[in-house]
Chain A
């Protein structure tokens, strides 16, 4: 048995190393002085760590504008999706009504909507409505992209809160709304956080629609577009590019590590991708 364990652990270590390497290399490059980046034999870690690349990235034209745009669009879309989804999830999980079944089917179908196929019509619609180069339109799209899965996930969390808890509050004289606010909402908080995390990742990442909907007004672009055009910004300065990629990935990774412990890794399997 012993040699098998060793082989298994070595294999696992190899998988771990291969998986983590690209992310590690991003961090490592971001902290290396340019001389080290350009040396014949790349060092595995920065021998003389420096922050100059981060300074270059942050000082680049429009970085803060794009950062603010990204944050505003993502935040607004996720918040809107949470509120709207909470209403729907409540209706689905707690009430019986005609059309409930079909509504659930529609939500599931919308969750798999082929958004990539809607780039052209969305562009035409935005143009007709004079909503090109508008962050509001972008927010609307991200809201709709994240909404279906937010409904599904919140409904799951809502269903896990026993109805008796709510009934008890109603019996004690709470209004329906007060019962929700004082009893269900606190119990739901972890679910809301987990759901918003996945919505945040989706919207923060989004690239195709910004590319289509933000055309002339360069100040309305978001971080993914900015990062993808880094060649125009940094040329071949890979240190600054990796520093920019780090700054882009960091909010998501930090949020993720922070929330993962609260939410539990099991949530990953309940989550959406793509």
Chain B
């Protein structure tokens, strides 16, 4: 998401000269000419209003209505105020899901950022050939479609013929012979974490590496000459310079992991015993399986509110970068 538009040096200061210039037909009225930018953005705005703003408002409205199978078919949903939210917040299940979602997000993001930072630092120190090889592999993993990756993981962790169980058994862990990863809540959760971390590390590592390469070598040299150890150089030089980038990547990963849906839905549908039901999965389940569209919308709205905290921080960072550019 708009991490450093590297290929584009800012040129916008020049732009404003253009629109009013060189009227080709003398006497061309000024009015219509001024309309041009608005005509140009009109399709985008129309799309946004129709396919983003309207659904968002519709979700908000439904969350205040009684909207179930009957209302879906017949229409005429009645407003019931905050009843859906009250029902939701009173349910123990909901709070369990919220706690699980935070745990899910925390575990994944910590692992992703830790591994990605290590890989980025590693890339910086590798010889050319090895670095290109590793970067190509990261790019390949990054481009692998989510559903393809999810299917692959089903096969890797398959109980009888899966290569993971074979490897673990060969290494002497005999309890994994025919172990069924998808039947146990904790194991399922673990498999999903491995899958999501594997998919997320390439983007984070490549972005952090791109940031690391912008730090001039002289800074490292002088830090070393001053007797800094490897760890000191990282905490005193590298990290402070890259802090904005770290923050941006971290918040992107938080958003991405928090609202991650297809992997969980395909692998476990939130099971077994709800062990992998996070908020997006929960919303989908109560809406589509229980036909409680009202309750599902309420969950969705609460998800938006929780995410908004991360989103607003992100937006401010983007705008600050925007301000620095123009």
Contact = CB atoms under 8 A, between A and B. Distances in A.
Contact of B47 (A114, A120, A147): A147
A2 interface: no
Contacts of A201: 143, 145
B156 A22 contact: yes
A88 B318 contact: no
Contacts of A93: 11-12, 15
A246 B12 CA distance: 44
B152 A109 contact: no
Q: Is the interface of B mostly helix, strand, loop or mixed?
A: helix
Given A108-B318, A114-B304, A122-B55, A238 B261 contact: no
B296 interface: yes
Nearest to B135: A265
A84 interface: yes
A104 B323 CA distance: 11
Contacts of B48: 106, 110, 144, 147
A12 B296 contact: no
Contacts of B133: 16
Nearest to A152: B2
Nearest to A15: B119
Contacts of B56: 118, 121
B59 A117 contact: yes
Contact of A29 (B9, B155, B260, B304): B155
Interface string B65-106: 001000010010000000000000000000000000000000
A270 B2 contact: yes
B324 interface: no
A100 B38 CA distance: 9
A266 B297 CA distance: 39
A141 interface: yes
B6 A270 contact: yes
Contacts of A41: 166
B319 A105 contact: yes
B8 A160 contact: yes
B18 interface: yes
B144 A118 contact: no
B304 to A, nearest CB: 5
B36 interface: yes
Interface string A162-196: 11101100110001000000000000000100000
Contact of A204 (B145, B151, B153): B145
A125 B67 CA distance: 13
B255 A19 contact: no
Given A93-B12, A108-B2, A253-B143, A22 B149 contact: yes
B7 A252 contact: no
Contacts of B119: 15
A159 B6 CA distance: 12
Contacts of A272: 1-2
Given A20-B140, A22-B153, A103 B147 contact: no
Contacts of A204: 145
B17 A25 contact: no
Nearest to B51: A144
A238 to B, nearest CB: 5
Given A97-B37, A124-B62, A117 B146 contact: no
Interface stretch (B180-188, B233-241, B282-290): B282-290
B221 interface: no
Given A15-B134, A159-B11, A87 B255 contact: no
18 contacts: A8-B125, A15-B122, A16-B133, A25-B163, A26-B155, A90-B40, A93-B12, A95-B18, A95-B19, A105-B315, A116-B261, A118-B59, A119-B300, A120-B283, A143-B47, A270-B6, A272-B1, A273-B1
Interface of B: 1-12, 14-19, 21-22, 24, 34, 36-38, 40-41, 43-45, 47-48, 50-52, 54-56, 58-59, 62, 67, 72, 75, 119, 122, 125-127, 130, 133-135, 137-153, 155-156, 158, 161, 163, 166, 198, 201-203, 206-207, 210, 252, 255-256, 259-262, 265-266, 280, 283-284, 287-288, 293, 296-297, 300-301, 303-304, 307, 311, 314-315, 318-319, 322
Interface of A: 8-9, 11-13, 15-16, 19-20, 22-23, 25-26, 29, 37-38, 41-42, 84-85, 87-88, 90-97, 99-100, 103-125, 127-128, 140-141, 143-144, 147, 149, 151-153, 155-157, 159-164, 166-167, 170-171, 175, 191, 201, 204-205, 207-208, 211-212, 223-224, 227-228, 230, 238, 241-242, 244-246, 248-249, 252-253, 256, 260, 264-274
Which 5 residue pairs are nearest across A and B when measured between Cβ atoms?
A156-B8, A117-B300, A156-B5, A96-B16, A91-B40
